[in-house]
Amino acid sequence: MIRIVVVEDEQELREEIVSFLKMSGYAAAGVGDGAALDRHLQGRACDIVVLDVGLPGEDGYSIAARLHTAQPLGIIMLTARDQVDSRVQGLKSGADVYLVKPVDLTELAANVDSLYRRIAPLQRLGTAAASADDEWLLDSTEWCITAPAGQSMELTATEYRFVLKLAEARGALVSREEIVTALGHSYTYFDNRRIDSMMTRLRRKSESELGFELPIKTARAAGFAFTAPMLINSGND
């Protein structure tokens, strides 16, 4: 699953793009500026950044330049600046694709797919040796989850069972029925809204305690998937 972060300070547009990408099958998240992007990347892996130029604080050109030198990420610039010199500056800064607003979101998705086919082999080469360092850790003895950068968060019994079920699936989608069963309930009589409420609380909790959301993809009416590598510590190692 392709992991995307949309960096856009206009909240309505950011939410529209993220929602479309999620519905199209990508693992997408949105942030409002470069500082928020840095916090996001500390806690989870990313394949492609969709980057606005006119951001508060650090602009998109500067962000693209440092991302380009720091890690093998694909960068798509999505901006209202359509002048030739702006395009040239964007590409020189490290952008792989330069799209001008307003852009058809199906065109954006097509560029994501095309770019990912180009960068995926490079990412695999660049991360193979360090893959263990990118893993999240779920500790069954302490009921806590730890991000690759070391931030930890304690889980309730229900949260732990939920995250454990996702971790055991190793990135595959886990259905709502499977989750309900893992929580010890009968799906026939279970109110699905309880899962949505738990997911909302877990997102808020992780943002508060870790500084970013857990890398959990939600597929409407279908289920959930943990989109990053996860090591489960059973306490017997």
**Structure confidence by residue, pLDDT tens digits, 190-221:** 888 899 899 999 989 998 898 888 888 877 66
Looking at CATH, the fold of the domain delimited by 132-233 is given as: Arc Repressor Mutant, subunit A (1.10.10)
Q: Is the pLDDT of residue 185 over 80?
A: yes
pLDDT computed for residue 221 by the predictor:
66
- pLDDT value of residue 70: 60
- DSSP conformation letters of 160-187: HHHHHHHHHTTTS-EEHHHHHHHTT--G
Q: Which fold has domain 3-127?
A: Rossmann fold (3.40.50)
> Phi first, then psi: what are they for 80, rounded to 5°?
-80, -5
* The pLDDT value given to residue 222: 75
Does the pLDDT value for residue 94 go beyond 60? yes
* Extents of the domains making up the chain: 3-127, 132-233
Same fold yes or no, 3-127 and 132-233: no
pLDDT band at 146 (very low <50, low <70, confident <90, very high): very high
Place of tokens 């082999």: 121
Q: What percent of the chain has pLDDT over 90?
A: 38
pLDDT for 123 equals 54
